[in-house]
Amino acid sequence: MSKMPKQPEAMKRSGRPIVADFHPEEYLYRRVPTRIWPAKDSILDIAAIELPDISTARSEFGHPEWLRLDYVNQRVFKKWGIIGVQIKNIIPASCLDNGKVFTYRVSHVPLEVDYPHSEIQAFDGEQHLNTSEAVLPEELHLEWRANLLEVFETFIPPGEDWAIREEPPGSHVPETHPDDSRKS
């Protein structure tokens, strides 16, 4: 396990408020363990997307490489891959054959050491499905996760070393990182 680097100041909450509004072109980033995504040429498995609350980070407040730093648990995920999805591509609802509708919402859920932290949450009506008793039906659970996985994009392939930027993002639009091997 790598030693914890100094935390970027912009990653800390520092009294900043919850920001409920998301720009449709803003991205949510998610880290993916190497046991699920071992190499950039391997297929990304549905296990990368978990419900009930999918932990992510907002591009408006953080860079994708910040997801490799877990200051809550004092862990570094140096080789894990980072994927992202634009808010406008998140499927807002799914429906059972009997007409019952489940909805999905994006929420900014900042932590003291991780201001960009957000979640994609599932709801049955107004009931937030965040407990073991409140479960999304299995067929919808798998279908929704598979559909969401299709619209995720790779930001940092697994195994690539990227330097941690200290400065906060300039906007909700992801900025090119100097270590990005996809650049021209």
Q: What is the pLDDT of residue 51?
A: 76
- Report the C-alpha gap between 184 and 174 in whole angstroms: 16
Q: What is the pLDDT of residue 184?
A: 42
- Report the C-alpha gap between 108 and 55 in whole angstroms: 10
Q: Measured in whole angstroms, how far is the alpha carbon of residue 80 from the centre of its chain?
A: 13
- Report the C-alpha gap between 151 and 114 in whole angstroms: 25
Q: What is the pLDDT of residue 134?
A: 65
Residue type, 159: G
Mean pLDDT by 10-residue block, N- to C-terminus, for the chain (184 residues)?
A: 85 98 97 95 90 91 97 95 97 88 95 97 88 73 89 95 94 88 58
Q: What is the pLDDT of residue 82?
A: 97
Q: What is the pLDDT of residue 182?
A: 64
CA neighbor of 174 nearest in space, from 149, 157, 148, 153:
153
Its pTM stands at 0.92
